[in-house]
Amino acid sequence: MKTAISMYNKAFLGLMLLIGCSSSEQDPGTGPQGPDNGAATYTATDAFPRLKFRSPVDLTYAPDGSNRLFVLEQEGIIRVFENKADASSAQVFLDISNKVTDGGERGLLGIAFHPDYRTNGYFFVNYTRSSPLETVIARYKVDPSNPTTADPASETILLTFPQPYSNHNGGAVKFGPDGYLYVSVGDGGSGGDPQNNAQNRNNLLGTILRLDVNATTKGNYGIPDGNPFKGNTQQGREEIYAYGLRNPWRMSFDSQTGALWTGDVGQNSIEEIDIIKAGGNYGWRIKEGNDCFNPSSNCNEQGLVAPIFTYSQRNGDKSITGGYVYRGSNLADLKGKYIYGDFVSGKVWALEFTGEKASDNRLVTNLAGTISAFGVDANNELYILNYGDGKIMKLAAEKE
């Protein structure tokens, strides 16, 4: 992820596979399409002027009432600081950079605190390591005598799976309102999903997984009741909750409705936003957004779940960074809207929706930076991670 190019993988292979199927982005059934590049209504300001991070990729809080924020640095470091605008230092909470392989889209990519963190001290991370290249989903524990430190030796690995290529590793981990851990997994990489992993439920690539971290039937986790392929012998891996995804880099739960939103990074033409449902097939590599991809025309769309929204790469927006349905109180006009951005263009938009239908999409601000992630604090206030300059930004309404 050192460069935009590697982030969204517009590899030459991908370009060679670029398909000529006619655009169907103007699908009237899914509401407004394409980015609104009208006037920005908010400015992005430095949320913590004295803090700066090295390639930040995730931000969250611990559900312990401490009002601290945790930022992931891609090389394998978690930093913690008090959620105050004048915070002056962010100390190392955990350093596993010796385990993590980073660079491009690899690294320490996601963190989620256990809902009972206050009592058990557990948190979960998603990272890549090499020899062989694989994704690791692991649990760590805070030092019981020091809430600002976690012991690298406390690692318990839940799950690993091979990464055939360096890119498209997904990377998010989030607890749902059901108490289960959801994991976003990319298609394995290269371009065009050459191994057709996202449609193959016999491997874990190109999916959202759901794990019961309080069970041990699979070693250090279990399969939740209600996982769509639980107990089967032919239909694929029981960990899979949804599939047909290309690179669901960031995802989030709506803290009010419990809906799971993800931004699925597109190949050469279309970025998309999906609301994830149990058993859903989100279409990749059969489709990119609402277009046929492989095959490039007359693809079989039966049973595929359409995105709630797509935007074209034609205007310089090249790689979606999924955000949050805003449930804070500081930004009145954004309440209840899905706020997301583009890693390459630095634009942030607000998607208005009713149920699962998009009704409006407006430009919020142009950060003119590389947006690697959004995060929220304990009050659901929103932050934007500027990957390039390492700053954590927040939104403020434009002055009259």
Integer Cα distance of 93 and 82 in angstroms? 12
List 76, 189, 191, 266, residue binding Ca ion (CB under 5 A) = 189
Binding to Ca ion in span 346-365, by CB under 5 A = none
- Least Cβ distance, residue 269 to Ca ion (angstroms): 12
- Least Cβ distance, residue 266 to Ca ion (angstroms): 9
Integer Cα distance of 312 and 294 in angstroms? 18
- Least Cβ distance, residue 283 to Ca ion (angstroms): 4
- Least Cβ distance, residue 29 to Ca ion (angstroms): 15
Candidate segments 14-22, 56-64, 185-193, 379-387, binder of Ca ion by CB under 5 A: 185-193
Integer Cα distance of 250 and 1 in angstroms? 14
CB-wise, 106 or 114, nearer to Ca ion?
106
Residue burial 307-339, b: 16+ Cβ < 10 Å; e: rest: bbbbbbbeeebbbbbbbbbbbbeebeebeebbb
**Cβ(202)–Cβ(216) under 8 Å?**
no
Question: Which two three-digit tokens encode residue 93?
Answer: 């909470």
List 163, 197, 203, 227, residue binding Ca ion (CB under 5 A) = 163
CB-wise, 206 or 328, nearer to Ca ion?
206
At position 280, the amino acid (one-letter code) is G
Computed on alpha carbons and rounded to an integer, the radius of gyration of the chain in Å comes to: 20
Place of tokens 């991908």: 14
- Least Cβ distance, residue 125 to Ca ion (angstroms): 17
CB-wise, 56 or 244, nearer to Ca ion?
244
Interface with Ca ion, residue 266, by CB under 5 A:
no
Interface with Ca ion, residue 282, by CB under 5 A:
yes
- Least Cβ distance, residue 172 to Ca ion (angstroms): 14
Candidate segments 23-31, 282-290, 310-318, 390-398, binder of Ca ion by CB under 5 A: 282-290
- Least Cβ distance, residue 170 to Ca ion (angstroms): 9
CB-wise, 13 or 368, nearer to Ca ion?
13
- Least Cβ distance, residue 9 to Ca ion (angstroms): 10
CB-wise, 14 or 152, nearer to Ca ion?
14
Build a one-symbol-per-residue string for 225-264: x at contacts with Ca ion by CB under 5 A, - elsewhere.
----------------------------------------
List 74, 169, 227, 294, residue binding Ca ion (CB under 5 A) = 169
- Least Cβ distance, residue 115 to Ca ion (angstroms): 29
Integer Cα distance of 137 and 239 in angstroms? 13
List 8, 113, 165, 309, residue binding Ca ion (CB under 5 A) = 165
CA end-to-end distance (rounded Å), the chain: 37
Residue burial 156-193, b: 16+ Cβ < 10 Å; e: rest: eebbebebbbbbbbbbbbbbbeeebbbbbbbbbbbbbb
Candidate segments 149-157, 161-169, 309-317, 384-392, binder of Ca ion by CB under 5 A: 161-169
Q: Where are the alpha helices (DSSP H) in the chain?
A: 4-8, 12-16, 117-120
List 224, 283, 322, 369, residue binding Ca ion (CB under 5 A) = 283
- Least Cβ distance, residue 139 to Ca ion (angstroms): 22
Candidate segments 71-79, 274-282, 326-334, 356-364, binder of Ca ion by CB under 5 A: 274-282
In 3D space, the residue among 341, 315, 304, 324 whose CA is nearest the CA of residue 379 turns out to be 324
Binding to Ca ion in span 69-128, by CB under 5 A = none
Integer Cα distance of 116 and 179 in angstroms? 9
Interface with Ca ion, residue 8, by CB under 5 A:
no
Place of tokens 């596979």: 17
The set of long-range contacts for 288-292, using a CB threshold of 8 Å and a minimum separation of 24, is: 288/246, 289/25, 290/24, 290/25, 290/27, 290/30, 291/19, 291/21, 291/22, 291/23, 291/24, 291/25, 292/19, 292/21
* Footprint of Ca ion (CB under 5 A): 163, 165, 168-169, 188-189, 282-283
